[in-house]
Amino acid sequence: MKNEDFLHLEKLMNFLASHFLQKNAWADVSKSEWAYIVAELNGLLQERNKKQKIKKETDLFGTNYLYEHLIINKLKAYKGKKDLGGAVNLI
């Protein structure tokens, strides 16, 4: 992923944290709170499909998708590389 992609992902995660939990940053949200956000998003997806009378079963997020895939594997890994990259340049 490019640097710009990570910035967009970080903005999205900050928006979700702010919208659902009134927290300022994605880093302030716990694993269980991410699970709550996923449950809310899945509920909204199901509600939308029901209103639009879509008969196909809704594709839902896994309970730990946001936390494990996006937070740990993407954002935290990117932040770790960014921090290490800065430290290496200082030496």
The residues near 18 (Cβ < 8 Å, ≥ 6 apart) are: 24
Q: What are phi and psi of 54, to 5 degrees?
A: -85, 125
Assigned token pair, 57: 């079963």
> Tokens at residue 35, please?
């699970």
**55-88: pLDDT as tens digits:** 888 889 998 888 888 888 888 888 777 765 554 4
Across 17-21, 32-36, 81-85, least confident range: 81-85
Percent of the chain with pLDDT over 70: 89
Higher pLDDT, 30 or 89: 30
